[in-house]
Every structure is written in C-alpha cells, then in structure tokens.
Structure 1
C-alpha cells in the first residue's frame, strides 16, 4: 500500500541578492511553508537550494529545474530576476518487511512527475501576480505580508496527488453553441462594453465552460482556474442552499464582491487584478456578475474610481438581458444533454485535446474540471500522457507516438500545429493495425477541422 501520496513537504520563496552577509541569511527568505519549522532548518534548506542552483549554472546556461532524491523531489522556478520559488514534495513509498523481519520503505519516484509539479509551481506565481502584482514591484516588507496572506490558503487547497496533465495544459473548456446563440452572446457583450465605457474587457462563461473571451490566453487561464477552482463551487453551494435573490426583476447579481453593492464601503471589496502584465497595461477592477448558470467577468478601467451608481446601472442593464440569454442557453444545453448518455463506458476510447493557441481543451478522461481524481481511466495511464507531453520536443511540430501499456491499454499521442491529441484505448488482443484504424475513426469524427500531418 502506497503511503503519503506525493504530499507537500515544503514551499518557499527567496531573493538571492538579499542576506549576503554572514549571519543575515534569514533576510533572503521571503516566505516559507510550513511556518512552524525552526529558523535554522529554513536557512539550511534555502541555502542548499541556492547552492545547487549556483553550482549547476556553471555547467549550463539553463537554470536548474529539479533535484531528484530517494525521498523527495525538489522543483525550482525563477519567475522573476533574483526571485526563486521552490517546492519540495515527499516521494510516495510502500512499507515492506525484509526477510530478517525489519521494516523498510520502498520509494516510488516514478509516481512523481516533474513536469506536472513545474506547471503547478508556475501556476502559483501567475495566480499571485494576477491578483497582487510582480514580486519586484512590491516593497519588501509589504511583499512578505502579501505572500503570507496569499500562499497560506492557496497551498492548503493544493491537491497534489490528483494533479496531472490538466495542470500542464492549464486549459479552458469551451462550450459550443449554435450560431444564433453565440451571436446573441457576442451582441450582449458588445452592447455592454459600448454602453459602459468603463468596462474594457469581458469574459462570458456558462457553468464552467467558456463562450466569449476578451482577454489574453495567459490571463484567461488564471481567471478560469480561479472561477472553477474556488469561486463558482462556493457560489453554487450558496444557490443550492436557497440563498434569497436580491433583485426581484431578474436573476442577476454580483458574486464578486459577494453581496453586491449597496453602500460606499462595498466599493473597497472590489478585487484589483493585473491584466496583460507583460505589456504593462496596469491595474483593472474585476467584478463578476451571475444570472442563473451564466457568469460574466467585467474588467473595469483601473484609472477610474468605481461608484455605487455605476454598479447599480450595470446591474439594472445586464441583469434582465443576461437572465434571458442564460435561460436560452440552458434550454439548448438541456436538449443536447438529453440525447447524450452520461454513463461512462470503459470500452469506449477516451481522449484529451489541447490547443496551445487559444488554450482550449476537451477531455473525456476527466469527469470534471477540477483536480479531484474523478477520471475514467487508470491513473498510471494518465501519467503516461504527461510523460509523452514532457517529451514533446522530440516530436517537433508534427508527430505521433503509439505505446502499449498494461491492462490492455493502448495510448496514442499526436501533435500538429501546437495542437495535442491523446487517445486512450483499452482493447484486449488488439494489434497495431487495429489501433491505428480506431484512431483514424476518432480523428475523423472528433477533429474534422484539424489536419494531422503524416509521420
């Protein structure tokens, strides 16, 4: 039986330019988790990681990304100049008994995937930067406080044992609509942004699927993770508990900030975010509005001061129209879902698709969009998908890999024009020709508009 499934051992952030004098090494530690570790242990771990990074830099122009030991896996990430983020996880092990009757641990390093953890670490920085700003732009005393306030709850909700290829993709699931319904959504967004010049960008979701996006793909990934991972589940729980509707004229209301806008003090609850960070656009105000199952994120110009009157006008203007469109989309999705069985058939081939250009993904392997372990194939097969992805450079722009795994699983990975398609087939006594014929059928039915070059 495997113990301590890839649990977090330590997480810390340090600045390599600080604490250079002897006895002041503690100054370079900006954040350390868990906090109950003694100072000497913190200094030792940070110093060891810094030494490894500097030592490996003399052999390569690329930064050291990970260190593998029998008991731990250490992941290094330099998100900004002079700043380093380090994640240390425990390697899963099995407790066994030797012939002499002595108990020992057999460690399974193959259960820890470096590329997945690297993506988790990079995503943590992107989330902090989105909501708080760059490390280098925050004064050091304030930075330590902000890091503590942000990462303590963030790390506690990490579900490392269930992190997989979806964490590498950081993809967004799109909702396909008929032309008329999509046109109505587009017209509503254009009408809102034309009517309220303060709103610069908008993103439209139905449940946890994207319909319209007006921000960059990098920002979209962060917004999607925030909505799907924390905000929407909490909101749906409130709705299921029968939270009373504030507005009797429609079903719309602000869910971020929660409770909406009723007095001047509510304006201080608006979340400030940093959109298009690399282009130095600056700060925007993020307000999120929801009606039925439709959720719209509005990014308001950070150079203005939002008022209660503006928010009340947005509510009165958006609420009725969003309620109507959400109802129509719900009817369409209801008709389509009624004609499709939701029962998971183990014999049916499963697939994952990811488009790096618009960060769109689709998966019949994952039964939800969160890291919950709710998958329709064996977890070891899903690890093979991440392994193929980590070796994607060998496929260059176009290529294909076919492999045979245990329990009669076949895995096929195809790459074309920054698009990736992975097919998982469980078929007893199948041969390579039969698998390729099945893959061709799936590509013809699922990827009609995507051309995969022959190998």
Structure 2
C-alpha cells in the first residue's frame, strides 16, 4: 500500500562469532556464539556468518584497516572486531516507501536515511555495555577454563534483553559521541563534594571507587574515563528511569531509612530493618588496579543527588553495614543536594530567560564532556526540535570531519532555511542549527561565536 513517509530503520540481525572456531567443513556452526533473532534456522545462521567472514577476509586484501560496513539495496551491515578473532555484526533494514508510478506500486529505498557512523557507534556501544557487566569475551573464557558454552550463555542472557532496548530509529549524532553531561559548580561546592567522598572512602575502606551525580549530571568520578562513560550511559538510560518509574508507581514501598534525611539505596537493601534482604546489587567489571576487576554497584540517592559506590566482590557486605552507610550518607547527601539545588536553579533560570532560535551539540574528546539542546528529553530522545533530515545532516557533517585528523569547519544552508554549522578544533566538536531565513554567512558566523561564549565557557566550574 502506498505511503507518504518511509518506514523506519529496524534491526534485522545481530550476531557474534569467532573466526577460529569450527575450522573444518561441517563444523561451521561452532563459530556461532550468539545470533538474533534466535528462531532463525541453523542453516541461515551459518550462511550469514559465512558471508560476513568472507566479506571481512576479502576486505583485508585491499586495506590494512578492518572492514566496517556492507551496503545493499535493502539492508546495511556493520562489522566490529572488539577482541582478536571475535566479530560482532549488526544488520539494519533500509527505510523505504511505496508509491504509485504508471499505475504500479514502486518501492523506493532511502539509503541516505541510514548512516554508517551511527550504526557502528550503536554496535560498539553494545559490546562496551556487555563488557562492563560481564567482562571481556577473553576473560569469560579464561575464568571458565576455555569452556565456550559459558560465553554463549553470558551472551544470550545479556543480549536477549539488551537488544529489545535498542531504538535504532532514534539513534543520531549523540550516539556517536556518547558523552557525559557535567554539572558546573562553584569551586567551594566542588571541594565540599571532594571532601565528602574522601571522608566516605576513609570511613568505609571497602568502597573502592565512587562517582557523584546531581540531576543525572556528573560532578565527580574516581573511575577510568571509558568505564565512567559506559557507567553513565547505564545509569542515565536504564537504572535511573527504571527507579523513577517504580517510585512514581509506588512499587518500592520502602520505609523511611532514617530520621532527618531523605537518603535511600537505589541498588542494595530495600528495607534496612530486614537483615536478610540485601536486595539487588548489580555486578560490574571495571579496569583500574586490575583488568576486569569485579565489583558490586551500590547506588544511594538523596533528593536529586546520587552517589555510586563500587565495592570489590570479595568484600563482605551485609544489611547492618549498609545501615551504617545510610547513617553516614543520608544527612550529608541531603545537605549537599539542597545546596547544589540553589546553584542549579539559578543557572537554569539564567539560561532559560529567552527561547533561543538555535540548537547545538558540543563534545570534547579529551574529557568526554557533552552538552546539547537538540532533544528536550535527552534520555528518551523525545521532543526533537529540529527535523529528522537536519539531524541526519549533523551526522553526515560529523562523519566528514572525523575522516581527517585536521581541524575544520562546514557551513550548510538547507532548502528549508536552516543554517547548519559544524566545527572541529583542538579535540572539540561543535554543531549548531540556526533557523534564520534572512541571515547571511557573516551573521551566522558571529552568532556561532556568541553562542560559544555564552554557553560553553563553564563546562566544569561556574565563574
């Protein structure tokens, strides 16, 4: 049936295989470690993986860089080798629309609706998210004495749930950056938080690493940068929303954990009066003192402040110990949250005095700092204030700027009277979308300079 708008991009296949497994004819099925959708027959799985392996090997003869993508009329396939001989492949459909031409229905595929850089970022993110909750493929095999079935079970348990959360139609330039939103504070408040964390780690030595957030923005982290990046993604897109939903539905039913403060455990004991119930404590694998160090993730919140505490799994944890933690954290976190709230409210009010005619995305590769006004609700990717074709244009400009190591700038005027500017300078990238019909290039350039001065001079500290 003819439609006015193209279909959405959709996940067709996702699979993990090892090129060294099943080397003999008739043993090709041994290469398969995970395949989505699971109901696909074995013969098809073997053919898909065989084709992917052939494409990868064929590409190797022409370049010293690994194969990244394969384009066909109806699908786009991206490849990623996260560890030696382990390959991850994701196949997505190309959006299409049907229209009448000479009395017949003709299918028109929109190849430009799918961007390699964004799909590759989604695929790499899928690996990193697996790794932080399970460790690397190699580590899992080492701990299982080379038993491949153990790795298969881990992959199936994780990806059977994770892939259901993928929203490929909403993926955009923010997935490429996958940055961290920092909260700028005055230096005195920042130092108070630093002292609070030092006191916490000194009083409770089993707390090895910490991260402090306010309103889903990062204030301080003791984790390695890449680990914090993935942890931040998990917290802001999964744990926090799920917790808030439970709170709104009243399914938590948690009694007050203390008098005189608003603190409670987000992961950990749901009821501090019940010594037998430690609740859910996710296990994460971080790379600090050792590779793939396994830790419990304890998350504690008070008002809009949240602290993440990573505890080595060898440390004994129990509810009485958590009660002591609650007594320590609750009053201090409540006071800090109240003080930060005053600063935060003033800053938000100052920035929202007028409704700007522009939208921007900023990313710093050195510290992973990101700021954006492209989405009203950043985590749910809802309330987009610019058209989808402009979002795709941002992705295209980013891909062009990323191909070379040099700094550069791109300015585009669209048919719909949008000005789109992309700048790359000193490991920083900045993209602006301005809707000014009668503006010229000089005026747009001045507007971009003014925007940088107004919005981006206080990523970490307030003046």
> What TM-score do the two structures reach when normalised by structure 2?
0.91
User: Of 239, 248, 258, which residue of structure 2 is paired with 1:240?
Assistant: 248
In structure 2, the residue matched to 1:319 is 330
Post-superposition CA distance 1:218-271 (Å, at most 9, x none)? 111111111111111111122223444431412211111362666676458422
The answer to whether the 8 A contact 1:397-1:418 is kept is no
Coordinate RMSD, CA, aligned: 2.2
In structure 1, the residue matched to 2:362 is 353
Residue 120 (structure 1) shift: 0.5
Residue 50 (structure 1) shift: 0.9
In structure 2, the residue matched to 1:119 is 121
Post-superposition CA distance 1:376-431 (Å, at most 9, x none)? 21121121111121122456343222122231111111112211111111111222
Alignment of 1:5-404 (within 5 A): 5-99=8-102, 101-138=103-140, 139-242=147-250, 243-249=253-259, 250-257=261-268, 259=270, 266-267=277-278, 269-276=280-287, 280=291, 282-341=293-352, 345=356, 348-393=357-402, 396-404=405-413
The answer to whether the 8 A contact 2:275-2:320 is kept is no
> What TM-score do the two structures reach when normalised by structure 1?
0.92
CA distance in structure 2 between the aligned counterparts of 1:60 and 1:45, rounded to whole angstroms:
23
> Secondary structure of the residue that 1:231 maps to in structure 2?
helix
> Secondary structure of the residue that 1:305 maps to in structure 2?
coil
Alpha-carbon spacing, 1:44–1:415, altered in 2? closer, same or farther (3 Å): same
Structure 1 segments unaligned to the other structure (5+ residues): 451-455
Residue 294 (structure 1) shift: 1.2
Alpha-carbon spacing, 1:398–1:422, altered in 2? closer, same or farther (3 Å): same
Greater mean deviation of Cα atoms: 90-99 or 18-27: 18-27
Alpha-carbon spacing, 1:137–1:269, altered in 2? closer, same or farther (3 Å): same
Alpha-carbon spacing, 1:94–1:420, altered in 2? closer, same or farther (3 Å): same
The answer to whether the 8 A contact 2:255-2:271 is kept is no
Structure 2 segments unaligned to the other structure (5+ residues): 141-146
Alpha-carbon spacing, 1:15–1:260, altered in 2? closer, same or farther (3 Å): farther
User: Of 431, 445, 448, which residue of structure 2 is paired with 1:439?
Assistant: 448
CA distance in structure 2 between the aligned counterparts of 1:358 and 1:284, rounded to whole angstroms:
24
Residue 307 (structure 1) shift: 3.3
> Secondary structure of the residue that 2:375 maps to in structure 1?
coil
Alpha-carbon spacing, 1:281–1:90, altered in 2? closer, same or farther (3 Å): closer
Post-superposition CA distance 1:101-122 (Å, at most 9, x none)? 2212100010001100101100
The answer to whether the 8 A contact 1:245-1:251 is kept is no
Aligned length: 447
Residue 181 (structure 1) shift: 2.4
Shift >6 Å, 4+ stretches = none
CA distance in structure 2 between the aligned counterparts of 1:48 and 1:264, rounded to whole angstroms:
55
User: Of 408, 417, 420, which residue of structure 2 is paired with 1:411?
Assistant: 420
In structure 1, the residue matched to 2:5 is 2
